[in-house]
Structure 1
Amino acid sequence: MTKVCRECDEPTAEPIAVALEHVASTAGRVVYLCPVCRFVLGLLPLDQHPKGSDGRVRYEEEMPA
């Protein structure tokens, strides 16, 4: 399934869901990024969010030095 990356606006055949966009008047939408933008921004894929997450953007934890 091809989606458009929310960050670079380019179509990607490997979209990664990173968050749920919350909208007050309608159902929310899933935010997709291409693999490069997800890596550069350091966002945690939605399927790796902690149980009970509300779907907001989460950043990967920094690696210990």
Structure 2
Amino acid sequence: MTAICRECDRDTADPVAVALEHAASAGGRVVYLCPPCRRLLGIMPLSEHPEGSHGFVRYVREHAP
């Protein structure tokens, strides 16, 4: 699967799902980052979110702003 990185706008063959984009009238969609951007920003992959996170962006503890 390929996707466009939300941060750098480049195609990536190894996208990392990091959040769910919420929309008032629609179901929303998954937000993807390329691995370098995800590490640089310190964003936790969606697959590692704790239960009840509702898909909002979460930061890895050591990179938390």
What is the TM-score of this pair, normalised by structure 1?
Answer: 0.93
Detail structure 1 runs of 4+ shifted over 6 Å in the superposition: none
**TM-fit CA distance, 1:53:** 1.5
Q: Which has the larger radius of gyration?
A: 1
Q: Which SS does the other structure have where 1:23 is aligned?
A: coil
Q: Which SS does the other structure have where 1:37 is aligned?
A: helix
Instruction: Give structure 1 stretches of 5+ with no counterpart.
Output: none
- Identity fraction in percent: 65
What is the TM-score of this pair, normalised by structure 2?
Answer: 0.93
1:7 maps onto 2:10 in alignment:
no
How many residue pairs get aligned? The number is: 63
